Structure 1
Amino acid sequence: MSLNNMSLGTLVGKQYLFKWKAFAGVFNSMIALQLLAVVFTWGGTGQSGTSMGNVSISMNFYSTDGAIGLTLVWAFFSSILITTKSYRNDDYLFITNRLSSNLANMAFLLTASVVAGLTAICSQYLIQMIQYVRGNTLLTEALPLTLGEWASGAVGTILYVLFIAAIGYLIGCVVQLHRTLVVIVPVALIGFLFIYDFDEPGFISLFEFYFQENSFWLFSVKILGTVLLLFAASILVSNRQEVRK
């Protein structure tokens, strides 16, 4: 069978389903990291208290920030992992080309971001259940979140996970261009974190552009637009690689 007898969509779909099985192990690490974040919040992420006479009140604060943070780390390294040679060689079980392989990887990253974002957000319920079992009194917002507010938070988390995954995927594709880049790129990134002045106005403007947008819809457009650009760049970089190394 040749590519002339199989559409690109069919080819991408077959590879996507295969990648779900091949990459299933990455979800084990995701779950482990999110559970680890829940354990870290066992005693709360903050504390305050007050007293009046013989009465004292102590309050612990809990959040899903840890679970979301570790999920972003997971997304970054997992997206790099699927660009490595061992995973790329699995594609040759199929009639394939660079474009179909990249599109299948990106579809997987999109789906994985949805799963990771939802589980990270829902970790709040696990935290609440644990504190309830421990006998702690739970106080939540005076006005519970509406379905729309919860959905906005969940979608926002998913978009951030996808954003980080797209960055990781591009870095992974760049590293595959030459063996020396496996060392150069990580060293350059680590050096950048230590040397760069994050109080520089350019970085602050960039941070505000992505992380302090008040309009949810404008935020979504910014993130999705950037993700598309990152994925397009990944395809261009990938096309510079040899067919098989």
Structure 2
Amino acid sequence: MSLSNVTVQNVVKEQVRYKLSAYSGVYLSLVVLQLLGLLFSFNGSGMSGGGRGESFRYSIYHYTGDGVITFTLLWAFIVSIIITTRAYRNDDFTFVSNRLTSNLSNFLFLVLAAIIGAITAELSTYVLKVIMYFLPNFGPFYYTGNPYSLLVLLQGSMVTFLYIMLFAGLGYFVGTIIRLHPLLKVVVPVVLLGVLFFGGATGTGVPDIIKFFVEERSLTIFIAKSIATSFILFGASSWIFNRVEVRQ
């Protein structure tokens, strides 16, 4: 590539191509965690039952891909932190690069990875039901079919993608913060764990943030909330990185 053709768009495109091929461990870790989530899903995501006396009792187990989605969100959070480390950042400077192109290529890479993660996580629900259907010594199996299953799949994949990007943005922000000072590598995890435990005990803080997204009834508003929050997290991370001296 000649110097006259070096533009931000070209550099970002080359970096994204490089990361899609070089970061093969990202896809492997996704497969491993989703298989682990699928394994945990065999216990069911919920159970209800009833009966009349001792002569008639029944139990209903609900099987969904929630476990796989949870592990996929964890994967997105961890991967986003990892790609902010110095070793991964230095890979960007094998190109004619700066902080802007590095952040843009990371963002686009995470978007593409999130699309893959969202689709596979949604499809895992059908895989789980097929496996449960053919397992031996299993009681009657009822599948809640939907005439608009393709539409439901697309909507589910889109919502899952937005959740993945939220966790990716959070991970990217955390990874950015802990690079500012070595002490923050200890302080930030402690603060996060403290907030999680305190929020779980008091029902405030983190639970309120979760409700802000999960309990949103309007799909349009949820999309707006998710996109805005993701851009704020990635934007704040980019701003912090831009304060660091550009490597020549």
TM-score (norm 1): 0.89
| d(CA) in 2 for partners of 1:108, 1:211 | 26
| Residue number in structure 2 paired with 1:40 | 40
Preserved contact between residue 45 and residue 66 of structure 2 (Cα < 8 Å)? no
| Among 194, 198, 204, the residue aligned to 1:195 | 198
SS at match of 2:216: coil
Q: Does the CA contact (< 8 Å) of 2:48 and 2:61 recur in 1?
A: yes
Question: Partner residue of 1:166?
Answer: 169
Tell me how far 1:55 sits from its aligned partner. 6.2
2-structure distance, mates of 1:180, 1:49: 51
Runs of 4+ off more than 6 Å: 52-55
Q: Which residue of 2 aligns with 1:66?
A: 67
Displacement of 1:205 in angstroms is: 4.9
Select between 118-127 and 203-212 the one with higher mean Cα deviation.
Answer: 203-212
Percent identity (aligned): 39
Partner of 2:30: 30
User: Which of 205, 210, 225 does residue 207 from structure 1 map onto?
Assistant: 210
Tell whether the 8 Å contact from 1:84 to 1:176 is kept in structure 2 after alignment.
yes
Aligned residues: 244
CA–CA distance in 2 between the matches of 1:15 and 1:143? 41
Change (3 A) 1:45 1:218: closer
Moved more, 45-54 or 85-94: 45-54
Q: 1-side partners of 2:186 and 2:196: how far apart?
A: 16
C-alpha RMSD of matched pairs (Å): 2.4
Quote the residue 1:18 is aligned against. 18
For each residue in 1:99-134, what CA deviation from the matched residue of structure 2 results, as whole angstroms up to 9, or x when unmatched? 001100000001111111111111112111211221
| C-alpha distance after superposition, 1:137-194 (max 9, x if no partner) | 4312264554323321110011000111011001111111222222221122122223
**Structure 1 residues 203 and 79: CA distance shift in structure 2, 3 A:** closer
Q: Take 2:59 and 2:215, find their aligned partners in 1: how far apart are those partners?
A: 32
Aligned 1:42-191 pairs, distance under 5 A: 42-50=42-50, 57-135=58-136, 136=138, 137-141=140-144, 143-191=146-194
Q: Structure 2 length normalisation: TM-score?
A: 0.88
Structure 2: where are the runs of 5+ without partners?
none
Unaligned runs of 5+ in 1: none
